[in-house]
Structures are given as structure tokens and as C-alpha cells.
Amino acid sequence: MYRKIARNAFIIFAVLLISNFSALAAPDGKALFQSNCASCHNPIKDATGPALKNVDKTFPSKDWVYGWVHNSSAVIASGDKFANDLYNKWNKTQMTAFPQLSKEDIDAILSYVNSYEPPAAATPVAGGETAQPESNGWLYTIITLALLLLVLILWRANRTLRRAANEKEGVANEKEIPLYRNKTIIAVVAIVLFIAAGYWMVNGAINMGRQQNYQPRQPIFYSHAVHVGINEVNCLYCHAGAEKSRQAMIPSPNICMNCHKQINEYTGEKEHPLYTAEGQHIDGTAEIHKLYEYAGWDPEKKDYKRDANGDIMAKPIAWTKIHNLPDHVYFNHSQHVKVGQIQCQRCHGPIQEMDEVYQFAPLSMGWCVNCHRQTQVQFASNDYYSIFQKYHEEIKEGKRTGVTVEDIGGLECQRCHY
């Protein structure tokens, strides 16, 4: 009896372990795509680069893809016709080299984009949940449940038949124990529940304080899609701190007024009607007038309202903070934007498509560390790195193709925690 329980438990553990290991071993195509490719490529739409879904079927060979991703300029320079055609077709925009991506990584990315299906609804789901329904998930569940039911029925049938056979042959039947009193089953269920609860609690604890996909309502319905996506306002125009300071800076109303003194209505209603995540329609012009309230602007007189001292009667806007790091984390925007030349979208996602901003990245330490492992520093172009003579020599000798943030100590605790 106990041996049986032990054996069952062992099997369950083994299954769990194997499934865990396989989860660890296989590269996560989605994560790789989002951290490396998403700033230029969309799976189904042409962006800076072509849409990637099924793009591999157009390529000459698998090896060609690896070479292209690792160093596209070398492939172009080699005179490869396909490469040069592609290069010319895309206005000679060169693709960033990703030498750190292994062949498995690239395969994982390709299989991810090939299996990519656009989300059913264009507007994100309410309550911060933007989980994309996986169409075959339900199917699998139903099949699994049906199979389980089948197993149960067969088992019962088998058992009943055996009992009947036993009766016929006159062999004494074992006393029937109901399922819920079967010690093996109780033990297995208890262990499974215990493991599940533990898994759930640990995950819950790890995710405490994280708020990926958080998409609160803001005091003004400010659409990044309208400003950045359609009107192509440079991020740094408003978030001027991103290149200078640790804070990217939310602009003060007077920055908004630089443009909105002239622009006092929303004219894009037809091309781009504004909806909240809950599907409520938003009047863009009314939102601009909310800004005027905060900025102390009188749209009738086209002048600021001033108090007795001649000071503009502006009020700060209390935005709801979306991207929040714990107090013990030091993050500096200028280090990433100015020095690291990282695109805003790398962490903030397709901000140019968001009417309401949501938190794209998990902002977890694992996510930071992963990027620090994979991202190359501007080793050759920034003279700061001239002090790393060892790496320069290794590059010269061909032992090394690039230097990642990790190589220069970017995973050390006190880069971010002090």
C-alpha cells in the first residue's frame, strides 16, 4: 500500500520535474522576440522591418537565416542576391546584428512568429487582463477531459466486469471501498494539492508588487497612439529627462501647451476614434479642455489665467503611476536611452499603438537581468569602454564578437541596488 503511494508520488514528482526542465531548456520564442525583434518587427504587419509571420518560408535556407540574423551586413557584403534584394526593398535599412542569438533561439523566434495569431479584439481586455485566448487550449482541455472520463468509465466497467466474473466463479470479492475512502487516492490527492498550493503560493509571492499589463484610467485620456503613432511626436520632446536624468519625466502642463495653444480640438475622430479599454467612447476635444483646466489656460481669451501676483494658475496633473520600481532599485533612463541607445519600445512596448498606456514589460529582476545578459554595449563607438583593454584585445584576436552588459559587470548587485 505505502509502497504504492510512494511510487505514485515519485511518478508525479518525476513528471513535474521533467516538465519543468523541458520548460527551462527550450528557448522562449515569445520573450526572445519581444526583447530583441519587437522594436523593429511585428509578426503580421510591416514595421521598420518586414512582417515576420511565415517569412522563413521565403528564405533560401535555414543557414541563410542564421547568418542573416547574426550579421546581416556580412551577408549583404558577400553579394548574396536574395539579401541584396531584401536590403534594397527595405530602403537600405540595415538590420541590427544579433550574434548572441543561438540557432535554437532563432528557431524559437520563428516558430513563435509563425504560430502568432492577432488578438481577437483590438482593444485590450478590461481589468488589466490582456491575455490572448489560445484557440487550441480549449480544444485540448475538452479532449483531455473526455479522455479522462473515458478512462474512468473503462476502469469502472472493467471493475464491474471483474466483480461479475468473480461472482460467477465463486471467488470472494474484496470489500468495495468508496473512492473517497481509498487511502491511495487520498494520499495522491493530498500530495497533488499540496504541490499545487505551494506552486501557486510561491508564484503569487514572486509576483507580489508586479503589475504587468496594469492599465489604469488616467485623469486625462491622453492617447500615445494619437501623439506618437499618428502625429509622430518624438518621445524626447515630452519626456526630455530620458536622456539627462534617471527619470524620463512626465511633462508638466506647460510643455503640453506648447502645442495645444494652437490645437484645441481632436480632429481624428473619423480615422481614429478613441475608446477606453472598457469600450467607452471618449471625446478628444473634451480631454484637451481638461488639459486647459490644469494648465490654467483660457481657450476663449487665448491666454493664461493669472492670479494677483501674475503667476499662472496652473495645477499639476496627478497621473496614476504605471511603471513602478521598488525603492531599493536604482534605474537610470539616461544610462539606457543615451548611453545604451535602447529604444523606448524595448521596455515600454508598442507605446505608439496605445491609446491608454499599460505596463508592457513585467519589470521584474529576471527580466532586467535577461536583457543585461543579451544586450551589447556600445563597445566600439563609446570611448568610455577603452579602459577594458582585455576585451579590446580579444575582439582584435577574434576571440570575441561583442561585449554584453554582463561582461562589464552589469549583473553586479550594486549596479542597481544601493
Partner 1 sequence: MGQKQYWKGLEELQDSAANQEKLANEFNEPLAFDMSESLLNATTPRRDFLKFLGFSTLAATLAASCEMPVRKAIPYAIKPEDIVPGVPNYYASTFNDGGDYCAVVIKTRDGRPIKIEGNELSSVTRGATSARVQGSVLNLYDTARLRHPHADGKEATYEAIDRQVQEMLAGNASKPVYLLTGSILSPTTKDIISQFTAKYPNAKHVVYDPISYSGMLLANEASYGKRALPSYHFDKAQTIVSIGADFLGTWLSPAEFAKQYAAGRRVSAKNAKMSKHYQVEAMHTITGASSDERATCKPSEMGAVAVALYNAVVNGTQPAMSPKLNSLIMKAAADLKKGNGMVVSGSNDVAVQTVVNAINDKIGANGSTINWAVSSNYRQGIDADMVALTEAMNAGSVGAVLIHGVNPVYEYHDSKKFAEGLAKVPLTVSFADRMDETAQKCKFVTPDHNYLESWGDAEPKTGYFSLQQPGIAPLFKTRAFQDSLLMWAGATTTYGDYWKNYWMTKMGSQENFDRALQIGIVEPSGEMAMGGAAFAGNVADAMAKIQAKKSSDIELVVYQKVGIGHGGAWSNNPWLQEMPDPITKATWDNYACVSPERAKQLGADLTGQNEVVTAKHVARIKVAGQPDLMLPIVVVPGMHNNVVAVAVGYGRDKKVGMAAASSDEAGNKKGGKNAYPYTTYNGQTFEYSNAATIEKTDETYDVAITQTHHSYEHRPVVREYTLEEFSKDPEVLLKERKEELKEFVALPWQEGAEEKVEEMSAEELEKNFRINGTLYPQYEHPGIHWGMSIDLNSCVGCGACTIACQAENNVSVVGKTHVLKVHEMHWLRIDRYFSGNPADPDSIQTVFQPMLCQHCDNAPCENVCPVDATNHSSEGINQMVYNRCIGTKYCANNCPYKVRRFNWLDWNGADCFDDNLYEDYRRDGMNDDLTRMVLNPDVTVRSRGVMEKCSFCVQRLQDAKLAAKKLNRPVMDGEARTACQQSCPTNAITFGNMNDKASALYKTRREEQAERTFYVLEDIHTLPNVNYLAKVRNTEEIVAKGKDDILAEKHI
CA 335 to chain centre: 21
Give the nearest distance from C-beta 414 to partner 1 in angstroms.
Answer: 4
Contacts of 348 (CB under 8 A, 6+ apart): 323, 357, 360, 361
Q: Please identify, using beta-carbon distances, which residue of 232 and 383 lies nearer to partner 1.
A: 383
Beta strand 274-275 with 281-282 is: antiparallel
Nearest to 413 by CA among 372, 374, 361: 372
CB atoms within 10 A of CB 107: 17
Q: Please identify, using beta-carbon distances, which residue of 179 and 318 lies nearer to partner 1.
A: 318
Give the nearest distance from C-beta 393 to partner 1 in angstroms.
Answer: 11
Q: Which three cell numbers stand for residue 145?
A: 477531459
Q: What is the largest CA-CA distance in the chain?
A: 108
Q: Please identify, using beta-carbon distances, which residue of 31 and 339 lies nearer to partner 1.
A: 339
297 near 257, Cβ under 8 Å? yes
Give the nearest distance from C-beta 252 to partner 1 in angstroms.
Answer: 4
Give the nearest distance from C-beta 283 to partner 1 in angstroms.
Answer: 24
Task: Please count the CA atoms within 13 angstroms of the CA of 38 that sit on its side-chain side.
Answer: 20
Contacts of 101 (CB under 8 A, 6+ apart): 32, 36, 69, 70, 109
Residue 318 three-state SS: coil
Q: Please identify, using beta-carbon distances, which residue of 53 and 239 lies nearer to partner 1.
A: 239
Give the nearest distance from C-beta 178 to partner 1 in angstroms.
Answer: 27
Give the nearest distance from C-beta 249 to partner 1 in angstroms.
Answer: 6
217 near 126, Cβ under 8 Å? no
Nearest to 126 by CA among 320, 275, 227, 273: 275
Nearest to 98 by CA among 45, 32, 44: 32
Q: Please identify, using beta-carbon distances, which residue of 234 and 414 lies nearer to partner 1.
A: 414
Give the nearest distance from C-beta 216 to partner 1 in angstroms.
Answer: 7
User: What is the per-residue burial (b if ≥16 Cβ within 10 Å, else e) of 321-342?
Assistant: ebeeeeeeeeeebbebbeebeb
Please, which contacts does 156-162 make with residues 24 or more away whose CB atoms are closer than 8 Å? none
Gap between the Cα atoms of 140 and 151, Å rounded: 16
Q: Please identify, using beta-carbon distances, which residue of 212 and 374 lies nearer to partner 1.
A: 212
Q: Please identify, using beta-carbon distances, which residue of 231 and 335 lies nearer to partner 1.
A: 335
* Interface residues toward partner 1, by CB under 8 A: 201, 204, 208-209, 211, 214, 216, 240-241, 244-247, 249-255, 294, 296, 312, 314-321, 324, 326-328, 330, 332, 334-335, 338-339, 381-391, 408-409, 412-415, 417-418
Gap between the Cα atoms of 374 and 410, Å rounded: 11
Give the nearest distance from C-beta 332 to partner 1 in angstroms.
Answer: 7
Q: Please identify, using beta-carbon distances, which residue of 8 and 212 lies nearer to partner 1.
A: 212
Q: Please identify, using beta-carbon distances, which residue of 317 and 371 lies nearer to partner 1.
A: 317
CA 49 to chain centre: 19
Q: Please identify, using beta-carbon distances, which residue of 133 and 299 lies nearer to partner 1.
A: 299
Give the nearest distance from C-beta 171 to partner 1 in angstroms.
Answer: 41
Give the nearest distance from C-beta 394 to partner 1 in angstroms.
Answer: 10
